[in-house]
C-alpha cells in the first residue's frame, strides 16, 4: 500500500530543505533534542499593539495579572480583538475535505482509526496556527458568542460533494459552543461541543478545553470519540501572543482502538515549537471487557482508578502538527506521511451574505463591531460591542423576571448514562484519562443519530438550516 493510498497527503506551499524535511521524522518523545538553528522561527515578529495603544495595553496587562477566575468574563480592549466570533472557529473541523474522504474509503477498523487520527491533526492548523502564520502578527482574541448565536457554512467539492457545518452557542455561563458537521455523500457526520476556561499563570495564559467530539458513519455502527487539547497562549506580555498545544488528547473507537497524542511545548532553552508524538493501540479482549464492566458512576468519578491493561501498539506518529508528520507501522517498520499541511488544499468556505442571514448569525451579530475594528475605529467598536452586551443582559433579566428558561434551537443535551448507549463505554474510558471530556453530549436535533433514535427520518444539516433560521435554502448559496 503506497503512502498516497494509505494517508491523506498534500505538499506544502513552501517546500522545506532536505535538512528541514528530515527533522520532521523520527522525532524524540520529549521534542527537545536536535534543536534547529531556526528554533524560534515559529514566533510572530509583529506586535498586535500599536504605539498609540501602548498605554491602554499596559493597563490591560495589570488587570490581567491580578484577575481571578475565568478570563472569558474579563473585558478586553477592542484593539486586541480579531473581529471573528469564537463560534466561527469551529469551521476548521472541515478545512481539509481530502482527509474526510480518506476516512470514508477505509473499512478496516485499525486503518480507519489511523485515518480518523490524521483528519483530527488536519483540523489543528486552522484552529491554532494559521491566523498567526499568515499575518506574522500575534494572536488576537475572538468575540465571545452571545447566547443562541449561530454560524452556518458549507464547502463544495466535486469529488466528495457538500460538507456542511452548523454551530450554536448553547450556554453563556459557562460559555459552551456546539457544532455539527455532515457530508451526506461520504456518509459521515459528527457532533461536538467545547468550553474554554482560561487563567493567567506566570507569563502564560493557560486554556483548558472542556468538551468532546463524536464522529459517526451512516453505513456503519462505528463511533469515534475525541477529547480536546489544552492550550498555552505565550508571549502575551510582549504583545506578540501565539498558541502552543500541550498535554494529551485521545480518540477512542467502539471497536476497541485508541489513538493517543502527546503535545510538546517548546523547552525553555533549546528545542522546537509545535512538535507531537503519539500512538494507535488496541487493548486485549480481556482488558476491553473489564473496562466496560465497571459501573457508570465509578467511571464518571474524579480519581477513579483505571484497570491495568495490555496494549498492542500498532502505529507510532511524530512530527509537527502545523506542518508535517509521519506514521510508522510498528510491526513492519514502514514509515509514511501521516499528514502534511498545504493551505492551498483548503476548500473555500461558503457563507450566506449578510442580507440573507438571520439576526442571530455570527457575522450579522458582530458585523458593525468587526467593521469598526477593521478600520481601526476602536472607540466605535467598543461602543457597538457594549450595546450588544447590554442588550443581552436586558434579555437575560427579562427571562429571569418571567421565569422563562432559555432553550437552544438547534441542539439538545444527552447524558451518556441515559440515552447515549453507543458512546457510553468510549467516554467512560476517556473520562478516566481526561476528566474535561464531560459526561454528556450536545447533539444536533436534525442529525441522523438523533432523529433515528426518535423514529423520525434523518435529514441533512443543509436541508434543516432554512427551517431553523427561516432564511431560505442554504443549498441555494452561490
The domains of the chain, with CATH numbers, are 3-354+410-476 (2.40.160.120)
Contacts of residues 193-197 at CB distance under 8 Å and 24 or more positions apart, as own/partner, are: 193/411, 193/438, 193/441, 193/442, 194/228, 195/171, 196/72, 196/86, 197/70, 197/72
Q: How far apart are CA 455 and CA 106, in angstroms?
A: 29
At 9 the pLDDT is 41
At 156 the pLDDT is 94
Q: Per-residue confidence at 72, pLDDT binned at 50, 70, 90?
A: confident
pLDDT tens profile 408-452: 999 999 887 655 667 888 998 999 999 899 888 999 999 887 765
Residue 275 class from Cβ within 10 Å (0-12 exposed, 13-18 middle, 19+ buried)?
Answer: buried
The residue-averaged pLDDT of 33-51 equals: 65
At 41 the pLDDT is 59
Q: Is 358 helix (H, G, I), strand (E, B) or coil?
A: coil
Q: How far apart are CA 132 and CA 146, in angstroms?
A: 25
Residues in the chain: 478
Is the per-residue pLDDT at 56 higher than 50? Answer: yes
Q: Per-residue confidence at 191, pLDDT binned at 50, 70, 90?
A: very high
The residue-averaged pLDDT of 200-209 equals: 90
Please name the residues in contact with 447: beta carbons below 8 A apart, sequence gap of 6 or more. Answer: 180, 182, 189, 191, 458, 461
pLDDT tens profile 367-398: 999 999 999 999 999 999 999 999 999 999 99
Q: Is 396 helix (H, G, I), strand (E, B) or coil?
A: helix
Please name the residues in contact with 378: beta carbons below 8 A apart, sequence gap of 6 or more. Answer: 53, 77, 78, 79, 372
Q: How far apart are CA 166 and CA 405, in angstroms?
A: 23
What percentage of the chain carries pLDDT values higher than 70?
Answer: 79
Is the per-residue pLDDT at 475 higher than 70? Answer: no
Alpha carbon separation from 448 to 112, 172, 187, 426, 451 (Å, rounded): 21, 27, 10, 20, 5
The residue-averaged pLDDT of 318-346 equals: 96
Q: How far apart are CA 343 and CA 96, in angstroms?
A: 9
The residue-averaged pLDDT of 93-122 equals: 94
Give pTM, 2 decimals.
0.82
At 38 the pLDDT is 46
Across the chain, mean pLDDT equals: 83
Contact between 299 and 7 under an 8 Å Cβ cutoff? The reply is no
Is the per-residue pLDDT at 37 higher than 60? Answer: no
Is the per-residue pLDDT at 16 higher than 70? Answer: no
At 416 the pLDDT is 76
At 309 the pLDDT is 66
Please name the residues in contact with 302: beta carbons below 8 A apart, sequence gap of 6 or more. Answer: 435
Is the per-residue pLDDT at 13 higher than 50? Answer: no
Number of H helices, E strands in the chain: 14, 17
| Higher per-residue confidence, 302 vs 158 | 158
The residue-averaged pLDDT of 221-243 equals: 94
The residue-averaged pLDDT of 459-476 equals: 41
pLDDT tens profile 263-297: 999 988 788 999 999 999 998 755 444 443 333 34
Would you state the cell numbers that stand for residue 283, as one nine-digit string? 487493548
What percentage of the chain carries pLDDT values higher than 90?
Answer: 63
At 14 the pLDDT is 39
Region of poorest pLDDT, from 26-40, 226-240, 289-303, 374-388: 26-40
Q: Per-residue confidence at 463, pLDDT binned at 50, 70, 90?
A: very low
At 421 the pLDDT is 65
Which range of 195-199, 201-205, 380-384, 464-468 scores highest in mean pLDDT? It is 380-384
At 362 the pLDDT is 98
Alpha carbon separation from 209 to 5, 100, 174, 176 (Å, rounded): 34, 24, 12, 10
Nearest 5°: the CA angle 119, 122, 124 is 125
Amino acid at each position: 500500500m503506497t503512502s498516497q493510498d494509505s494517508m491523506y497527503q498534500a505538499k506544502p506551499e513552501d517546500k522545506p530543505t532536505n535538512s528541514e524535511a528530515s527533522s520532521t521524522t523520527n522525532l524524540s518523545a520529549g521534542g527537545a533534542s536536535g534543536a534547529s538553528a531556526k528554533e524560534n522561527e515559529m514566533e510572530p515578529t509583529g506586535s498586535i499593539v500599536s504605539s498609540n495603544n501602548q498605554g491602554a495595553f499596559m493597563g490591560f496587562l495589570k488587570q490581567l495579572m491580578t484577575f481571578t477566575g475565568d478570563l472569558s468574563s474579563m473585558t478586553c480592549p477592542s484593539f486586541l480583538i480579531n473581529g471573528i466570533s469564537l463560534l466561527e472557529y469551529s469551521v476548521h473541523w472541515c478545512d481539509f475535505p481530502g482527509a474526510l474522504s480518506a476516512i470514508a474509503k477505509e473499512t478496516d477498523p485499525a486503518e480507519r482509526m489511523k485515518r480518523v487520527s490524521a483528519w483530527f491533526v488536519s483540523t489543528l492548523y486552522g484552529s491554532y496556527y494559521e491566523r498567526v502564520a499568515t499575518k506574522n502578527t500575534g494572536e488576537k482574541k475572538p468575540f465571545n458568542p452571545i447566547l443562541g448565536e449561530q454560524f452556518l457554512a458549507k464547502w463544495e467539492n466535486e469529488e466528495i460533494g457538500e460538507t456542511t457545518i452548523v454551530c450554536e452557542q448553547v450556554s453563556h455561563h459557562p460559555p459552551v459552543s456546539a457544532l455539527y458537521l455532515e457530508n451526506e455523500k461520504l456518509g459521515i457526520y459528527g457532533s461536538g461541543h467545547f468550553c474554554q476556561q482560561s487563567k493567567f499563570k506566570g507569563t502564560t495564559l493557560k486554556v483548558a478545553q472542556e468538551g468532546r467530539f463524536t464522529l459517526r458513519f451512516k453505513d456503519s455502527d462505528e463511533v469515534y470519540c475525541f477529547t480536546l487539547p489544552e492550550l498555552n497562549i505565550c508571549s502575551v506580555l510582549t504583545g506578540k501572543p501565539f498558541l502552543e498545544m500541550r498535554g494529551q488528547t485521545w480518540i477512542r473507537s467502539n471497536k476497541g482502538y485508541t489513538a493517543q497524542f502527546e503535545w510538546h511545548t517548546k523547552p525553555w532553552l533549546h528545542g522546537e515549537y509545535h512538535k507531537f508524538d503519539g500512538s494507535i493501540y488496541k487493548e486485549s479482549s480481556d482488558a476491553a471487557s473489564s473496562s466496560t464492566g465497571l459501573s457508570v458512576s465509578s467511571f464518571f468519578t474524579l480519581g477513579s482508578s483505571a484497570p491495568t491493561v495490555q496494549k498492542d501498539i500498532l502505529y507510532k506518529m511524530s512530527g509537527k502538527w502545523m506542518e508535517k508528520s509521519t506514521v510508522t507501522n510498528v510491526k513492519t517498520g514502514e514509515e509514511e506521511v501521516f499528514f502534511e499541511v498545504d493551505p492551498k488544499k483548503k476548500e473555500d468556505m461558503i457563507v450566506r451574505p449578510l442580507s440573507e442571514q438571520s439576526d442571530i448569525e455570527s457575522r450579522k451579530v458582530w458585523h458593525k463591531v468587526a467593521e469598526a475594528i477593521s478600520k481601526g475605529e476602536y472607540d466605535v467598536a467598543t461602543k457597538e460591542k457594549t450595546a450588544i452586551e447590554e442588550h443581552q443582559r436586558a434579555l437575560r433579566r427579562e427571562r429571569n423576571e418571567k421565569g422563562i428558561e432559555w432553550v437552544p434551537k438547534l441542539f439538545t443535551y444527552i447524558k451518556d448514562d441515559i440515552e447515549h448507549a453507543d458512546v457510553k463505554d468510549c467516554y467512560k474510558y476517556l473520562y478516566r484519562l481526561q476528566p474535561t471530556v464531560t459526561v454528556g453530549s450536545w447533539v444536533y436535533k436534525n442529525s441522523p443519530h438523533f432523529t433515528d433514535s426518535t423514529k423520525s427520518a434523518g435529514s441533512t444539516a443543509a436541508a434543516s438550516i432554512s427551517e431553523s433560521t427561516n432564511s431560505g435554502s442554504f443549498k441555494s448559496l452561490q
